[in-house]
Amino acid sequence: MRATCRGLGEPLVPYAEAPLPTQRGPFDVLVFREPGTGLEHVAMLRGDVRRPEGVLVRVHSECLTGEVLGSLRCDCRFQLDWALDRIAEAGAGVLVYLRQEGRGIGLGNKVRAYALQARGADTFEANRKLGFGDDLRHFDFAAEILEYLGVGPIDLLTNNPRKMSELSDAGIQIRSRVPVPSPVTPHNQAYLETKKRRGGQLIDL
């Protein structure tokens, strides 16, 4: 069954796709444009992702500061690299990369939140001082992408129970949760403790 775009009832199709050689070996990359927002989300595929015995999946939200600029405030780059390593080692899997910077508040507001954190606010308090909720991300479009790809049962690489719940509610069969390690450093310890305490994330510190 082909997925339909959220709220529009139109078939979901990739805007672009191509083979992508990487340092971890060959992947296929597909770009999907989200209706309404125009955001371009990415799916990276390795091997046969329709295997009935299940496949590794990571649904990952964008973090330019950590993944590109090398920020030590978070563990996003480590989680992204770790997930891609596991998929490459398994020979099959999917990484869905969602353009939801700063838990959905955008890059500029994320940096404004950084300034508040530098003055003592935690990541949730900073969002609220800027007038945002704790987490504005959604994962229903990721579920549509996975449905389009025809994945069977998935082993989801995540520490986020809300992500599991939203994907499951959207019809994705989650066979198991694979915990993602979060290395603790002096720069990210408070951030990880806050994610665990206030965000309900299943992080082993």
- Is 10 inside a domain boundary? no
**Closest-CA residue to 84 (of 147, 26, 154):** 26
Q: What is the pTM of this model?
A: 0.88
Distance CA 100, CA 119 (A): 25
Please confirm, yes or no, whether 135 is among the known catalytic residues. Answer: yes
Strand order of the β-sheet with 16-22 is: 16-22, 25-33, 40-46, 93-98, 55-61, 154-157, 174-178
- Is 30 inside a domain boundary? yes
pLDDT digits (tens, 9 = 90+) for 29-75: 999 999 888 899 999 999 999 988 889 999 999 999 999 999 988 88
Whether residue 61 sits in one domain with residue 112: no
- Is 8 inside a domain boundary? no
Active-site residue, from 137, 140, 175, 197: 137
Q: Dihedral (C-alpha) 86, 202, 181, 89: value to the nearest 10 degrees?
A: -10
Whether residue 125 sits in one domain with residue 77: no
Please confirm, yes or no, whether 137 is among the known catalytic residues. Answer: yes
Whether residue 130 sits in one domain with residue 34: no
Distance CA 196, CA 114 (A): 19
Whether residue 143 sits in one domain with residue 132: no
Number of domains in the chain: 2
Which residues, other chains included, contact 38 with Cβ-Cβ below 8 Å and sequence gap of 6+?
none
Whether residue 145 sits in one domain with residue 111: no
Start-to-end C-alpha separation, the chain: 41
- Is 14 inside a domain boundary? no
Percent of the chain with pLDDT over 90: 65
Whether residue 126 sits in one domain with residue 38: no
- Is 142 inside a domain boundary? yes
How crowded is residue 99: how many other Cβ atoms within 10 Å of its Cβ?
16
* CATH number of the structural domain spanning residue 185: 3.40.50.10990
**Closest-CA residue to 97 (of 88, 84, 108, 85):** 84
Distance CA 135, CA 115 (A): 18
Range of the domain at 127: 105-136
Q: Are 99 and 106 in contact (CB under 8 A)?
A: no
Active-site residue, from 33, 50, 135, 198: 135
**Closest-CA residue to 22 (of 98, 80, 99, 75):** 80
Each as own residue / partner, the long-range contacts of residues 15-24 (CB below 8 Å, 24 or more positions apart, any chain) are 15/40, 20/44, 22/84, 24/84, 24/85, 24/88
pLDDT digits (tens, 9 = 90+) for 153-193: 999 999 999 999 999 999 999 999 999 988 888 877 777 77
pLDDT at 174: 95
Whether residue 67 sits in one domain with residue 164: yes
pLDDT digits (tens, 9 = 90+) for 103-118: 899 999 999 999 998 8
